[in-house]
Amino acid sequence: MTSMLDDALRPGVTVPVDSLCRLAACLLKAPMAAISLAGESGQRRLGSYGFPPVPTGDDLRAPSDPVVVHGTGVQPADLFHDGAPGEPAITGYGIKALLAVPAGGRGERPPAALMVFDTRPRTWTDEDTTTLTEVAALFTAPHTHGGGPAQAQALDSAALLDTVQEAFIAVDPAGRIRDFNRAAEELLGFPAAQACGLPLADTLRPECGGEPIEEALGRLFAAGPGPAARRDLTVRHRDGHAIRTRAAWTVTVGAAGPLAAVFLTDLSAQAAAEDTAERHAGFLTALLDSLSVGVIACDDTGHIKVINRALRRVHDHPEGAPVPGDLPPTDLYDSQMRPLSGDRTPLMRAWHGEHVAALEVLVKPPGRRTRAFAATAQPITGRDGRRLGAVAVVHEVTLLRRMERFPACHAEVERALTSSDSIVEAAPGVLSAVTAALGWPFAELFIVDEGTGDLRAAGHHSSSGAEPDGFFGHLPVKGCGVTGRVWQTGKPMWVPDISRCRELTGEYEKRRAALCVRHGIRTVLAVPVRDGGTLLGVLTCYAGFVEVHEDLLTLLVEGVATQVGVYVALRRAGELARQLTRAQDDFLDLVGHEMRTPLTSIAANVTMLAEDAPGRGEDEQQMLHTVVRNTEVLRGIVEALLDLAALESGHHQLTIERVDLVTVVADAVAGIRLAAADAGVRLHSLLPDALWVPGDPRRLRQVLDELLSNAVKYSPAGAEIRVGLHGDGHHAELHISDRGIGTPTSEQGRVFDRFFRAGNVRHHGIPGNGLGLSFARTIARLHSGTIALEDNQPTGTTVRVRLPL
């Protein structure tokens, strides 16, 4: 092979093979070109342009023999016909089309071929073949010219170089420009006639990475002919502005000596495009990083190319670190807490062509709180429909999901409270609901003891079901620790990380904090349990990770504490009411059994003394009559109390019969007319002919007498009292309306309680014992009826009694 090559090239002449390959590739707009020599031992590449490292060997196996034999260009169909096995070197480069023409002599000369390659399917034109043949002729120029051509003649012809799109400059060892093609004139602004013969350094003022161009050229000429060297070069236009280029230069040696062939590729457009792309990328990065939602995108291979600041924080990726190629899906779960495999993440589903809308994804890194995100993802496609990648956008919905859980939590707390007889019994259910809604492991409830004023545990809950050793069962110290401080101040306390809290400095507080850390507790929240301004207890909750959302979680837990506070207050009020009722019952027993006999004795003796009054003085007679009258009043009160107690306890039964309620009402109205006339009050009644109800006529008359008596008693002179009665098919309704002093709205709910008298009645000094309306309500209830009091506008009161027909 070496002897064949030596025969092909005359001594002292070196053809610029790589430059010819580059020229051929540029003229035919092909990515690769090569000159291959075929001989007895195979094929050998003499020069090439645009090839990456050889994938299958040093030799490019190409069809030199067919080219030489036929003497014409070889088209793609000659090599890539259907069913033909591809040459390994050809297929290794991804070549889909080639054009080859002879580049050597015939007969005794070694056969060679100049070839251009394309990685796209392509049909070559006749013009392509002609152009490539002209370039191939340069390879043979040293053998056909007989005497001293100019130095540039070994490289090209002016017509051929002017067709090259890249700027071409030939420079001699002295650094002077020897040739200048049309593309160089257009790029640099110098006419070829003016540039040739001028020093390269003074004319174009090239900048070669800070190195003088003379030194770079000196090394190039010293190295001699060889593969083209490539480096970035900045040259000056005729008007002085700088032009960034990429230079490919090599040395060729002709009959008249060496010459540097320099091809310049203008990088200005590329630099501008890169600058624009950099600005756009910077703008896009700033825009994405300013978003509160997370954004992630991948390319067509599925590798991550964009991840903004918000999403980096979710996955703990440093902001300045490179974009990770892949995200580990180990901390991603679906809404049912099932792990998401990599290909089921929203981004990868979109990469496979799926459109994902509002998919809930849970992120649960080890040792941190679970966060919920709504993800939307879609594929990215080009205009031609090709898949370019995918993008996913996520926004956090953790707060929303937590808020959605708390109505159910409040309902569960309400069920636990209403189904329990004490706060100690209700505490486990209450705390279980709270820990489930928060997603926290522990909670405990403390209630202030009414007797001692100490804060004592009412209950606790562990979400795991296990009792953490030494965690529960402690007695809070007022003013110390989280619970103790809330006990003292009555204000909520939030500790975001108890392992780093600097406020808990006392020995008790340090021990308690260390115990929390030992059991994996990080955030602690304690809120007061109140009834108005009264502190009833403290609700303390513990999180197993550093929590956020202080305001929201405090508000939600305070809502539960309010429920507990109302319950405790009502239970205590109910217990107080029961104690008062027992006290009233005891008082009634005392009145009934301890006062009745003495009163009977007093009444009997006073009556006997009164019978002897005519024999006494006038003053004594007056005193005896007063004693008799008040004794009867007192005995009436005692009898009323005993009667009321007997009715409420069931000792006195009603005598139920069919009663004409109209007759009962008419008789009661007639009975009160004389008293009403004495008070200057007019009575008006509107009654039907008859209205029959099941009832006890004597007890019903008692109700009417009491209501009419009150109406007359509290009405001013000249006022009217209206009595009405009607039936609606199911009930009989009696109403008595007066124009009296009325009852304050705030006290209307209590006027039927025993011994209660409205404030305006007491202030007017109107006598009474506070039993009448209580007596009327009891009788109405025993008849399965109701009695209610309401305002009679503009003044006065209306009492309504409803009885079933």
Rounded to whole angstroms, how far apart are CA atoms 581 and 578? 5
Pairing of strands 442-448, 534-543: antiparallel
Same topology between domain 272-396 and domain 657-804 = no
Whether the Cβ atoms of residue 257 and residue 173 lie closer than 8 Å to each other: yes
Terminal Cα-to-Cα distance of the chain (whole angstroms): 130
Reading the block at residue 229, the tokens are 């060297």
Rounded to whole angstroms, how far apart are CA atoms 565 and 570? 8
606 Cβ neighbours under 8 A, 6+ residues apart: 624, 627, 628, 631
Of 675, 803, 801, nearest to 735 by C-alpha is 801
Matching residue, tokens 């009715």: 647
In the DSSP assignment, the letter for residue 693 is: E
DSSP structure string for 507-567: HHHHHHHHHHHHTT--EEEEEEEEETTEEEEEEEEEESS----HHHHHHHHHHHHHHHHHH
**Sheet strand arrangement including 786-791:** 682-686, 720-727, 731-737, 797-804, 786-791
What is the C-alpha R_g of the chain?
A: 55
C-alpha 421, offset from chain centre: 40
- As a whole number of angstroms, the longest Cα–Cα distance in the chain is 184
Q: What is the dihedral of CA 707, 709, 714, 716, to 10 degrees?
A: 120
How many CA atoms lie less than 13 Å away from 94 in the CB half-sphere? 8
Answer whether CATH 3.30.450.20 is correct for domain 152-266. Answer: yes
How many CA atoms lie less than 13 Å away from 195 in the CB half-sphere? 27
**Which secondary structure element, helix H or strand E, spans residue 720, and what is its range?**
strand 720-727
How many CA atoms lie less than 13 Å away from 714 in the CB half-sphere? 26
Answer whether CATH 1.10.3430.10 is correct for domain 657-804. Answer: no
Rounded to whole angstroms, how far apart are CA atoms 465 and 715? 68
Give the start-to-end residue ranges of the domains of the chain: 2-144, 152-266, 272-396, 657-804
Pairing of strands 167-171, 257-266: antiparallel
Of 6, 12, 2, 4, nearest to 225 by C-alpha is 12
DSSP structure string for 257-320: EEEEEEEEEE-HHHHHHHHHHHHHHHHHHHHHHH-SSEEEEEETTS-EEEE-HHHHHHHT--TT
Reading the block at residue 713, the tokens are 């008693």
pLDDT number for residue 528: 95
Q: Which residues pair with 800 in a beta bridge?
A: 735, 788
Of 609, 638, 637, 636, nearest to 621 by C-alpha is 609
- How would you write 588-628 as a 3-class SS string? HHHHHHHHHHHHHHHHHHHHHHHHCHHHCCHHHHHHHHHHH
Q: Is the peptide bond before 794 cis (omega within 30 degrees of 0)?
A: yes
Rounded to whole angstroms, how far apart are CA atoms 182 and 161? 8
Matching residue, tokens 């260390």: 514
Is 639 buried (19+), middle (13-18) or exposed (0-12) by CB count in 10 A? middle
Sign of CA dihedral 90, 95, 97, 98: negative
Q: Which residues pair with 768 in a beta bridge?
A: none
406 Cβ neighbours under 8 A, 6+ residues apart: 437, 556, 559
CATH class, domain 2-144, is alpha beta
* The amino acid at 114: L
The C-alpha angle 267, 270, 271, rounded to 5 degrees, equals 80
Whether the Cβ atoms of residue 724 and residue 688 lie closer than 8 Å to each other: no
Rounded to whole angstroms, how far apart are CA atoms 412 and 452? 31
Task: Give the E-state strand segments of 241-303 in sequence order.
Answer: 242-254, 257-266, 294-299
pLDDT number for residue 461: 94
Rounded to whole angstroms, how far apart are CA atoms 588 and 193? 135
pLDDT along the chain (805 residues), means of 10: 32 57 86 76 70 54 46 48 44 78 58 83 88 78 37 48 79 89 90 90 86 86 80 90 88 75 85 81 82 89 88 78 67 85 88 91 81 92 87 89 86 91 92 92 92 90 88 90 93 92 87 92 94 90 89 89 90 72 66 67 74 69 76 72 69 82 90 87 89 89 86 84 88 87 69 64 56 80 86 81 89
Helix and strand counts by DSSP (H, E) for the chain? 25, 27
In the DSSP assignment, the letter for residue 30 is: -
Of 310, 303, 302, nearest to 285 by C-alpha is 310
pLDDT number for residue 231: 84
pTM higher than the cut 0.75: no
pLDDT number for residue 653: 76
Reading the block at residue 67, the tokens are 């080219």
Q: What are phi and psi of 406, to 5 degrees?
A: -75, -30
Rounded to whole angstroms, how far apart are CA atoms 426 and 415? 9
CATH architecture of 272-396: 2-Layer Sandwich (3.30)
Whether the Cβ atoms of residue 205 and residue 236 lie closer than 8 Å to each other: yes
Pairing of strands 682-686, 720-727: parallel
In sequence order, which ranges of 145-245 are alpha helices (DSSP H)?
158-161, 182-188, 192-195, 200-203, 213-223
Matching residue, tokens 């636990």: 416
Rounded to whole angstroms, how far apart are CA atoms 520 and 134? 83
